[in-house]
Amino acid sequence: MKKSMYGKFGGQFVPEVLMPALEELEEAYEHYKDDPEFRAELDYYMTEFAGRETPLYFARNLSKKYGIKIYLKREDLVHGGAHKLNNTLGQALLAKYMKKERIIAETGAGQHGTATAMAAANMGFKSEVYMGAKDVIRQHMNVYRMELMGCKVHAVESGSKTLKDAINEALRDWVTNVENTHYLIGSVVGPHPYPMIVRDFQSVIGKEVKEQIMEKEGRYPDSIVACAGGGSNAMGIFHPFIENKEVKLFPVEAGGKEMKTTDKEALHSSSLCVGEEGILQGAHTLILQDKYGQILESSSVSAGLDYSGVGPELAHLAEIGRIKPCNVNDDEALEAFYELSRLEGIIPALESSHAVAYVMKMAKTGELGDLVVISLSGRGDKDLETVFRLKEEEAKEEKEGCM
Amino acid sequence: MRIEDKFTDLKEKKEKALIAYVCAGDPSAEATKEIVHSLVKGGADIVELGLPFSDPVADGPTIEAASTRALSAGMNPDLYFEMAASIKENVPLVCMTYYNLIYKRGTEKFARDCAESGITGIIVPDLPAEEADELHEACKNNGVDLIFLITPVTTESRMKNNLDRTSGFVYIVSRLGVTGERVDVADSTKKILGNIHTDVPKAVGFGISNGQQAAEVIKAGADAVIVGSAFVNIIASGDNINNRLENLAFELKESCKQ
């Protein structure tokens, strides 16, 4: 197997002009990842700036209602409000060691963009973030946050105006400015070495869970549940447990409105569940595509899961049966959003709400076991407007229905 | 017609090649046939027929928009090969597309469809040599050239590997960035041409849109110029396109004769 592959997935399907940059990045990463100075500096940022470690919180009320022990890994408490900063700090530091001047990124919900802007501002980089025009509207507070931190945000008007198109635009920028620019990819997607690098930086989540659950329960959980768009928080919490075969791993995808696929768009984002093998944005992975291989536009209430592909390592783990892909739809995710807010006083991101929803749905079936850890990948403040708008629309529809 | 034979002919005539890119199906499959005819009439020696992909990351806004128009007008790989087979111009046709469309169709079938429809070369901008074993094999089996790219930042070891593998011609990306018209032809073109040592014809693309730029590139040592966005812009304008395409091809080809 080539080192860039996860089983048959992965690889480096990028324009020739980027190949030297990927080689340079891989070399730098291999050189610094165990370098004591690099590690010490990263630890400093993780502790003092990001606020690690995050708690593993026993969700008492949720557990009581659903009849199993549920713990929440509180990545929503990381500075910036999501797990994204774990990776951006790691990569920005790497870019600093590589003497790059400029950082670019793409963002869906805006969490990765915000985390990139934070890391860049803190370490003195110029930063520019590409974001689908549709997401700019959905998540305009995050746009403002990025701008406050000195980051330039580009609204991408092409294609479906979401994450996929933002990635295309960021790749185009990188192709043009590859000599002085680091492309800070925000998930376990794209060409090698990105899926590996992002996974490694995010693995801090799972490593902490291992110690924390041992301390609290004296054993590993029966199941770990995490939402998966590209899959960075999922890989981050799963990876340290891959060898622990007794722990079931559930990546929860966005089932969107319904699991139907039309010619031009999928009404969901469940590429692990129903995607087909193909090549998208640098990697051989599972993607939503038509019979000719044209990429289908995905759909989800949560901008961060609204992506037509998934990380290649997750595709591999699904193929060998180590993880169990599943999904919940928009309505179920919204219900979980309300439920966790009311029961625990924690407003989850709409992305994380998918993971919570799956646990709510499956708790009684026995499928998850008695002890479950949910990756609460981010907080829901950024989604308040989306949810508010949905409520308004719903009220309007009900009113019209009565007339 | 094979690409190699075209370059042999041109060598005898002491001419360099004009390679014209258009996106198949923009604005319609029927129009593309006329467009190819006009380009050849004007002097294009090789025609690159883009097979549109939904996510063309190596292309700039001009060609991305053309791809979107073509896809909306219903272009797809089945139709593409049908249309290519119906083109009877006496020039080599080259397919330019992204790897997922090839992968989805199956590399062997794709190469065979090319050969059967008269397409004699394939360019895949998101398929570096490292990932190309399967398609390379399929192309060899079907007598189709697989054309690799060299850029200003290609390292020496990669350069050698890409030159060893490419056939038909080598596609030299003259500058960093995506496809699209540029005001000047970068100095990097001259530098990169000076560094490439090969018997395979050297075709330079990215940013060339007029006769003067083409002449500069030829003077710097290229065996061919590749022009895309300038033609695609004419098509996008929708105004008297066949005459204008022919005139631009003529202007560019004149620069290839010096």
Residues with Cβ < 8 Å from A84, sequence gap 6 or more?
Answer: A78, A111, A112, A114, A115, A116, A186, A232, A378
What is the signed CA dihedral for A381, A383, A385, A386, rounded to 10 degrees?
-170
Closest alpha carbon within chain A to B150 = A16
Q: Of A137, A117, A366, A349, nearest to A233 (Cα)?
A: A349
Q: Of A141, A136, A181, A144, nearest to A163 (Cα)?
A: A136
pLDDT confidence of residue A133: 93
Residue A13 has its nearest CB partner, among B54, B131, B178, at: B131
Average pLDDT on B124-142 reads: 96
Q: What is the mean pLDDT of chain B?
A: 94
| C-beta atoms surrounding A291 within 10 Å | 12
Rounded to the nearest angstrom, the gap between the alpha carbon of residue A24 and the centroid of all alpha carbons in its chain is: 25
Closest alpha carbon within chain A to B52 = A294
Top residue of A172, A263, A271 to mutate, by most chain B CBs within 10 Å, is: A172
Helix residue spans in A33-152 (DSSP H): 36-44, 60-66, 84-97, 111-123, 133-138, 140-148
Residue A131, token pair as written in the block: 């974001």
CA distances from B37 to B88, B117, B228 (A): 9, 17, 16
Helix or strand holding residue B68 (H, E): helix B61-72
pLDDT confidence of residue A178: 87
pLDDT confidence of residue B186: 66
From chain A, the residues in CB contact with B155 under 8 A are 20, 23
Q: Respond yes or no: is residue A106 known to be catalytic.
A: yes
From chain A, the residues in CB contact with B60 under 8 A are 172
Residues in chain A with pLDDT < 50? none
Pairwise CA distance, residues A368 & A358, whole Å: 10
In this complex, do B149 and A20 lie within 8 Å of one another by their Cβ atoms? no
Residue A289 has its nearest CB partner, among B64, B68, B104, at: B104
Residue A17 has its nearest CB partner, among B53, B77, B176, at: B176
- The SS3 call for residue A79 is coil
Pairwise CA distance, residues B244 & A273, whole Å: 50
Number of H helices, E strands in chain A: 16, 14
- The SS3 call for residue B243 is helix
Residue B149 has its nearest CB partner, among A16, A281, A293, at: A16
pLDDT for B37-77, tens place per residue?
A: 999 999 999 999 999 999 998 888 899 999 999 999 999 99
pLDDT confidence of residue B181: 67
First to last CA, chain B: 24
Closest alpha carbon within chain A to B177 = A176
Residue A280 has its nearest CB partner, among B100, B125, B153, at: B100
Question: Does A13 contact chain B (CB < 8 Å)?
Answer: yes
Cis, bond preceding A339 (omega within 30 deg of 0): no
Q: Of B59, B53, B51, nearest to B25 (Cα)?
A: B51
What distance in Å separates residue B13's CA from the closest CA in chain A?
A: 33
ipTM field: 0.94
pLDDT for B173-228, tens place per residue?
A: 987 777 776 666 667 788 889 889 999 999 999 889 999 999 999 999 999 999 99
Question: Does A14 contact chain B (CB < 8 Å)?
Answer: yes
From chain A, the residues in CB contact with B127 under 8 A are 13
What distance in Å separates residue A124's CA from the closest CA in chain B?
A: 25
Task: Compute the C-alpha angle A194/A197/A201, nearest 5°.
Answer: 140
- Which position among A84, A100, A210, A361 bears the catalytic label? A84
Residue B104 has its nearest CB partner, among A15, A177, A293, at: A293
In this complex, do A295 and B55 lie within 8 Å of one another by their Cβ atoms? yes
Pairwise CA distance, residues A85 & A116, whole Å: 7
Chain B interface with A: residues with Cβ < 8 Å: 53-58, 60-61, 64, 68, 71, 76-78, 98-105, 125-128, 130-131, 148-155, 158, 162, 173, 176-178
Number of H helices, E strands in chain B: 12, 9
Closest alpha carbon within chain B to A11 = B131
From chain B, the residues in CB contact with A289 under 8 A are 100, 104
DSSP string, A137-188: HHTHHHHHHHHHTT-EEEEE-STTSSHHHHHHHHHHHHHHHTTTEEE---SS
Closest alpha carbon within chain B to A24 = B155
pLDDT confidence of residue B166: 97
In this complex, do B131 and A11 lie within 8 Å of one another by their Cβ atoms? yes
pLDDT confidence of residue A12: 97
Q: Of B29, B18, B198, B49, nearest to B121 (Cα)?
A: B49
Pairwise CA distance, residues B63 & B61, whole Å: 6
Tally A–B CB contacts below 8 A: 113
Q: Which amino acid is at A50?
A: A
pLDDT of residue B95 exceeding 90: yes
Which residues on neighbouring strands pair with residue A216, listed in sequence order? none
Pairwise CA distance, residues A34 & B48, whole Å: 48
pLDDT confidence of residue A403: 60
- Which position among B15, B26, B45, B59 bears the catalytic label? B59
First to last CA, chain A: 64
E-strand spans in A184-275?
223-227, 248-254
In this complex, do B99 and A279 lie within 8 Å of one another by their Cβ atoms? yes
pLDDT confidence of residue A402: 64
DSSP string, A359-379: HHHHGGGSTT-SEEEEEE-BB
Q: Are B10 and B217 in contact (CB under 8 A)?
A: no
CA distances from B188 to A39, A248, B60, B205 (A): 39, 54, 19, 12
Q: Respond yes or no: is residue B5 known to be catalytic.
A: no
- Which position among A106, A169, A332, A344 bears the catalytic label? A106
Residues with Cβ < 8 Å from B142, sequence gap 6 or more?
Answer: B108, B111, B112, B114, B115
Q: Are A187 and A198 in contact (CB under 8 A)?
A: yes
